[in-house]
Amino acid sequence: MWHPVVGTFKPNNKQTQIVIHFSNFNHRRFVLKDLYIGSEKAIMEHKNRRMQLDLILSGSIFILALYHFMVYNLRKKDHSSFFFSLMCTVFALRIHHCWRSVYL
């Protein structure tokens, strides 16, 4: 399973060589998406910003789901509000579940 890693180190010299070894036996294509190099403080701030953005996004979609579920309760004949509410709930839970394992 894919798990992002945040590693820190302090170089001893002015020049540092970073070597990344990886193997890919499960997927046809492999892309190294996010590689950030910087100070520990800058990396942690970036990680916290991404987490805040994802939590705001999942919370907003969940509130949208609650609103459409209330609209469905007022008009039971219109089932589109219920299905949209269900879809928004699934999306919000997916965002929260997928990124929760990344940030912990």
Neighbours of 63 (CB within 10 A): 12
For the chain, the domains span: 1-104
Predicted confidence at residue 17, as pLDDT, reads 87
Predicted confidence at residue 97, as pLDDT, reads 77
Instruction: Summarize the confidence of residues 4-16 as an average pLDDT.
Output: 80
DSSP string, 20-37: -----SS-S---------
pLDDT exceeds 70 at position 96? yes
Give percent of the chain with pLDDT exceeding 70: 86
Predicted confidence at residue 1, as pLDDT, reads 46
CA dihedral (82, 85, 89, 90) in degrees, to 10, reads 70
Predicted confidence at residue 101, as pLDDT, reads 52
* Residues 103, 46: Cα–Cα separation, whole Å: 12
Predicted confidence at residue 10, as pLDDT, reads 82
Predicted confidence at residue 95, as pLDDT, reads 82
- Residues 12-62: pLDDT tens digits? 888 888 887 777 777 677 666 677 888 888 888 988 888 888 889 889 999
